[in-house]
A = this chain, B = another copy of it.
């Protein structure tokens, strides 16, 4: 990434500028809680308009790199760089962020009519189409971390084969590459549950052991439900992170 704006680059200028500033921050050139150059100065420095400058800065603010104070300036956030700020991630990405090698063991995969409760959460009509059912044991560094049950809504007439899931690993990637469906938003709930005998034996713990139960509904860029996922995590191995803002 060069240090100047390239007008012949395809990517927007405000995006290029954001990358440059992000590097300056990462490189320690701009220190935490210290101001970066003012908008008017940046205008001079990089030969772009204030409109563009502000777009770049807003992007970096949303990403948590900068904060502003009216009348004072724009400052570098003192955030220790921490992965896993509550963004929408798949289990695979989640594990990688924690520095663990993601793995999985598929227990079931087929197309089926979802039960009534699930059908409602998928916002499907009663004349229900079949959805992809998938039950997987999720591993981190080859150790069972959780048991995941998912119902995925595919475009009518489409299917995903077991082979595809095996090789790709991430359902999200398949959805994106094959159907151009991009998960952009999700609602998640977390609560405590106790392991059933089946869950316990699969996870290698005693029945009745405490679990962290996550239920997630994922929406596409068109605000349609893509999937409903239920995961029970081993209570002793998993911790959930969230970054909240006001």
Contact = CB atoms under 8 A, between A and B. Distances in A.
Interface of A: 33, 64, 67, 69, 75, 77-79, 82, 86-88, 182-192, 194, 210-212, 216, 221-223, 235-236, 238-246
A contacts with B: majority SS = strand
Contacts of A243: 185-188
A191 B82 contact: no
B187 A82 contact: yes
Nearest to A68: B221
Given A191-B238, A192-B192, A239-B189, A245 B184 contact: yes
A155 B90 CA distance: 41
Contacts of A190: 190, 212, 239-240, 242
B223 A33 contact: yes
Contact of A87 (B187, B238, B239, B244): B244
Nearest to A182: B246
A147 to B, nearest CB: 15
A224 to B, nearest CB: 8
